[in-house]
Amino acid sequence: MIKTRGIFKGDPVIWVVYFFLVAISLVEEFSAASSLAYKSGDYWGVFYNHASMLLFGFFVMWIIHNIPCRWFKVVPLFGLTIISVALVCTLLFGQTSNEGARWLNVFGVQLQPSEFAKPIIVTTVALFLSINQQEKSADPRVFNKILWITAGVCGLILTQNFSTAALIFCVVYMMMIIGRVPARLMLKLTAAVVGTVLLLFLILLSVPRDSAVFDLPGLGRAKTWKNRLISFSEDKHPEDTTLAKALAADSGTINIDSLEAAKFPIADNAQVGHANIAIASAKFIGKGPGNSVQRDFLSQAFSDFIFAIILEELGLAGGTFVILLYIILLFRAARIANRCERNFPAFLILGLAVLIVFQAMLNMAVAVGLMPVTGQTLPLISRGGSSILSVSISLGMMLSVSRYARKRKDAEAANGAVEGDADPIEANFEDGGDMQ
């Protein structure tokens, strides 16, 4: 057996989940990104680029997981300033796509600063919650501190990327619940946010699509939000859609296996339509890796809608397996957090796990038509350099925390505090759970 002692440190289950996600990503991206390969004229180039990004992400994750988790407390000190400047520069000089400025060109490399804001905010909130814990709850004064920081960063993201700002806020909200922020403050925040969001959505839906309001600075993406909400609403009433009318007009019996997307006029909401066809034709075991049909019709099949391609090729069994991987990651993080002696590593690993899993669930919900299109990637599986790097950083920090928690448990066992309570999965792991 090849010795890997000292190479793969930390919780072995997290490592296993990571390698499974990477393997699925390589297989499915090779298939889903075929349209990009066709356009570029380089059949293997797109795959090599994605594989290279995953390899670089692994290198970054490996470096970070060797850093003692106590050093992550310096992240808010420098990270908040750097990411705030980067987000401002993105608003002013960033590359615009689909009426949203999201990418910043740094020495010829395109980065999406909002992706890196995710782990930075989670680390910051974990630190604030940890140093403001009292006997029965968190100090109420930490509530305003966390809100001001979150609002500042989300405000810089909101106008260009609503879904990312909403994701960050929801993760912070859940972290404050985990961090025992007083319930009365959380209830006030919930009421304020729900009321504000409903009011803004009503205003947005009442403004005509051709209104000059959408031409005002910072409101370029508002028309896209409106169109997505309307499209999602129409999908809930299929009798009103163009595709439904086409199906109703067909006098014969529709065979879902022979259903061709190009046969029906689904341009009104092409992404959702092709995703639904991909899922409906998958069955239990799917068509097999590389046999997707809808990848040639589905826009962003390699990113936002990669889960639909996974279901088409790997079927319900493969899709369920992917979901289980993320759920295992969350439960493993909770178990590790329970072992942590100090609050900061516990809040940190829980926050990062919630961030990754919640983003994954958002992506899957969009792919199966349970939510409007958001643009969130499937962590570690979807194509996207900034997203892969951000998730790799988060997983590296989680592994670092797991090393700390393991050492604490080993110390307790040596002192007789937890005799006979060793985890059989980790029985052969030493020095913070090194794999061998």
* 10 or 259: which leads in pLDDT: 10
Calculate the CA 298 to chain-centre distance: 20
- 164-194 pLDDT per residue, tens: 999 999 999 999 999 999 999 999 999 999 9
Examine the pLDDT at 106 and tell me if it is beyond 70.
yes
Q: Please give the average per-residue pLDDT across 259-282, as a whole number.
A: 63
Ordered by start, the domain boundaries in the chain are 12-415
Residue, of 97 and 400, whose pLDDT is higher:
400
- Top-confidence residue, 410 or 307: 307
3-class secondary-structure state, position 121: helix
pLDDT of 211 strictly over 60: yes
Contact (Cβ atoms closer than 8 angstroms) between residue 73 and residue 124: no
Mean pLDDT of 115-127: 95
pLDDT band at 253 (very low <50, low <70, confident <90, very high): very low
| pLDDT of res. 160 | 78
Highest-confidence segment of 102-111, 144-153, 190-199, 293-302: 144-153
pLDDT given for residue 224 in this prediction: 63
- CA quadruple 313, 37, 302, 264: dihedral, nearest 10: -70
CA distance 244 to 235: 10
Who wins on pLDDT, 40 or 19? 19
Instruction: Give me the percent of the chain exceeding a pLDDT of 70.
Output: 71
pLDDT given for residue 122 in this prediction: 96
What is the SS3 assignment for 215? helix
| Residue 429: band (very low, low, confident or very high) from pLDDT cuts 50, 70, 90 | very low
Instruction: Answer with the residue of higher pLDDT: 287 or 406.
Output: 287
| pLDDT given for residue 283 in this prediction | 77
pLDDT digits (tens, 9 = 90+) for 333-361: 999 999 888 999 999 999 999 999 999 99
pLDDT at 359: 94
Q: CA 78, CA 76: separation in Å to the nearest integer?
A: 6
pTM of the model: 0.82
Is residue 409 predicted with pLDDT exceeding 70? no
- Regarding predicted confidence, which is higher, 249 or 311? 311
pLDDT given for residue 24 in this prediction: 92
Angstrom distance (rounded) from CA 84 to CA 176: 22
Q: What is the pLDDT of residue 227?
A: 63
Per-residue pLDDT band at 121 (split at 50, 70, 90): very high
User: In which band, very low, low, confident or very high, does the pLDDT at 296 lie, cut at 50, 70 and 90?
Assistant: low
Give 343 or 298, the one with higher predicted confidence.
343
Instruction: Find the DSSP H helices in 253-384.
Output: 270-280, 306-339, 343-367
What is the distance between the alpha carbons of residues 397 and 61, in angstroms, rounded to a whole number? 8
User: Any residues with CB less than 8 A from the CB of 167 and at least 6 apart, and which?
Assistant: 118, 355, 358, 359, 362, 376
- What is the SS3 assignment for 111? strand
pLDDT at 236 over 70: no
User: Across the chain, what does the average pLDDT equal?
Assistant: 79
Q: Cα–Cα distance between 297 and 274 in angstroms, integer?
A: 7
Top-confidence residue, 88 or 215 = 88
Q: Is the pLDDT of residue 201 over 70?
A: yes
CA distance 334 to 350: 6
Average pLDDT over residues 273-289: 76
pLDDT exceeding 90 applies to what percent of the chain? 39
Q: What is the reported pLDDT for 241?
A: 47
pLDDT, tens only, 45-62: 778 888 999 999 999 999
Q: What is the pLDDT of residue 28?
A: 83
pLDDT of residue 91: 83
Q: Given pLDDT bands bounded at 50, 70 and 90, which one contains residue 424?
A: very low
